[in-house]
């Protein structure tokens, strides 16, 4: 590898690539748009960097965070072509985190921003795999040259064809919509009906903590026991998971919620990272808030199911949630945020699916039949409907939803297809 060199204006190609003058202002080479994620702590620096990048043809800023941990988590989900990371004066921890990220996402080009370009920093930048080291404040011509180098080298090809980690989060900004019921049954359907080898259900909603009871499990080990261990790794996670008869592993909330310390955002991230390294699919029963812990969950989610029912309060809550997801750039990844209508009565409701689309500008990804009597009985008995009563309408809809999320197909009975074609097929198909 060539020795790094200092450009006269303060740019160092960390990989030794030759620059171009970029004077003609042309778009970066290649037909695709170069997606960029910013992880910049200082607000003024973030504004200046965003303005410099958005002024370049063919470049799109798809996400922005001020915190390094949550920023790199978002980068793992959005898979940008370029990540711009601000280095603090004491940069060792930041470079270590950047190095781990590059091992997971070698196709992503890493731009490091620093107030100084000392030789020790440049050497470390090479070792972590940074594509560029840029001196603050940024120069527009230099950032364009850096972007063009990335485009030409092919070091940051889009990772759209790669498989995102399977963290499926069921979320509602309003309680009482059936989030826990749907999450628990999706996990069971994936394990039993679709035979996914390893499935985990993570109950991260401390306010209710009902996932274990939904599956009829006695909470002998829980999140509280995991946090007492003092470290979160595969061993401590395995020790504190419950095992359901279906084969689903469950991280439960404790029985006595008053004695449980909530996990920090960092601990929440470690839990999800650990579970996703151990299980092919992790289904998350998420809290109904937008606090730092919730954002840590959502940042790491490969798919977010926004659960609604056909009522005005529920749709208002969904609208607020979708607005937040837009601002967080979750919706910039096609298919990452999906709307699911729970307790659907086949068009007999006061609010129709078309009115849902008119209100939210999002078409429902799926509907779940309002089979109140059987679902209510399953909740009270602690026996998931997808396991004990798989031929009910709600169980079939949940299994179809699970299959759709896994890019699989399930077969309906002929009479069921005929009954649903006029409503479900016409109004929900995208």
**pLDDT, tens digit, 9 for 90 and up, residues 74-87:** 998 888 999 999 88
Q: Is residue 31 part of a domain?
A: yes
Q: Are 17 and 147 in contact (CB under 8 A)?
A: no
Domain that holds residue 41: 11-153
Question: Same structural domain for residues 88 and 117?
Answer: yes
Q: Is residue 159 part of a domain?
A: no
This prediction has a pTM of 0.66
Percent of residues, the chain, with pLDDT higher than 70: 84
- Residue 414's pLDDT is 42
Total count of domains within the chain: 2
In the predicted model, is pLDDT for residue 20 greater than 80?
no
Percent of residues, the chain, with pLDDT higher than 90: 42
Structure token pair of residue 1? 């590898």
Question: Same structural domain for residues 73 and 180?
Answer: no
Tell me whether strands 132-135 and 11-13 are parallel, antiparallel or unpaired: antiparallel
Among 102, 119, 153, the domain boundary falls at 153
Spatial separation of the C-alpha atoms in residues 370 and 169, rounded to whole Å: 21
Q: Is residue 84 part of a domain?
A: yes
Mean pLDDT of 314-339: 90
Question: Same structural domain for residues 92 and 198?
Answer: no
Name the phi and psi angles at 340, rounded to 5. Answer: -125, 125
Question: Could you tell me the CATH number of the domain that includes residue 331?
Answer: 3.40.50.300
Greatest C-alpha distance within the chain: 74
- Residue 14's pLDDT is 56
Among 123, 153, 183, the domain boundary falls at 153
Spatial separation of the C-alpha atoms in residues 221 and 364, rounded to whole Å: 37
Question: Same structural domain for residues 48 and 102?
Answer: yes
Most confident of 13-27, 106-120, 318-332: 318-332
Tell me whether strands 281-285 and 199-203 are parallel, antiparallel or unpaired: parallel
Mean pLDDT of 345-354: 84
């Amino acid at each position: 590898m060539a020795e790094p060199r200092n450009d006269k204006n303060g740019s160092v190609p960390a990989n030794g690539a030759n620059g171009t003058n970029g004077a003609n202002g042309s778009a970066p080479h290649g037909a695709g748009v170069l997606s960029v994620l910013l992880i910049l702590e200082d607000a003024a620096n973030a504004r200046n960097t965003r303005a410099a990048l958005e002024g370049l043809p063919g470049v799109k800023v798809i996400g922005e965070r001020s915190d390094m941990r949550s920023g790199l988590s978002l980068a793992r989900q959005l898979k940008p072509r370029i990540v711009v990371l601000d280095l603090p004066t004491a940069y060792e921890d930041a470079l270590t985190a950047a190095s781990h990220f590059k091992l997971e996402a070698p196709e992503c080009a890493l731009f490091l921003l620093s107030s100084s370009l000392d030789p020790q920093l440049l050497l470390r930048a090479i070792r972590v795999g940074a594509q560029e080291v840029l001196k603050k404040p940024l120069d527009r011509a230099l950032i364009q040259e850096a972007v063009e180098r990335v485009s030409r080298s092919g070091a940051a090809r889009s990772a759209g064809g790669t498989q995102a980690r399977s963290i499926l989060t069921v979320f509602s900004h309003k309680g009482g919509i059936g989030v826990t019921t749907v999450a628990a049954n999706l996990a069971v359907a994936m394990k039993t009906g679709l035979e996914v080898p390893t499935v985990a259900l993570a109950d991260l909603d401390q306010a209710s903590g009902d996932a274990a009871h939904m599956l009829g499990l006695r909470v002998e080990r829980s999140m509280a026991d995991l946090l007492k261990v003092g470290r979160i790794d595969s061993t401590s996670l395995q020790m504190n998971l419950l095992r359901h008869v279906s084969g689903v592993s469950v991280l439960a909330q404790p029985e006595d919620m008053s004695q449980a310390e909530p996990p920090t955002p960092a601990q929440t991230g470690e839990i999800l990272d650990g579970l996703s390294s151990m299980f092919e699919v992790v289904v998350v029963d998420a809290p109904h808030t937008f606090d730092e812990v919730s954002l840590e969950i959502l940042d790491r989610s490969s798919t977010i199911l926004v659960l609604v029912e056909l009522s005005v309060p529920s749709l208002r809550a969904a609208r607020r949630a979708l607005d937040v997801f837009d601002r967080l750039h979750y919706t910039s990844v096609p298919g990452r945020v999906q709307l699911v209508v729970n307790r659907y009565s086949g068009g007999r409701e006061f609010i129709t699916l078309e009115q849902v689309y008119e209100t939210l500008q999002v078409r429902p990804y799926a509907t779940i039949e309002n089979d109140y009597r059987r679902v209510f009985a399953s909740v009270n008995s602690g026996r998931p409907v997808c396991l004990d009563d798989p031929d009910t309408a709600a169980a079939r809809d949940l299994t179809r939803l699970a299959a759709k999320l896994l890019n699989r197909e399930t077969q309906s009975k002929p009479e069921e297809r005929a009954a649903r074609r006029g409503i479900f097929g016409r109004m929900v198909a995208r």
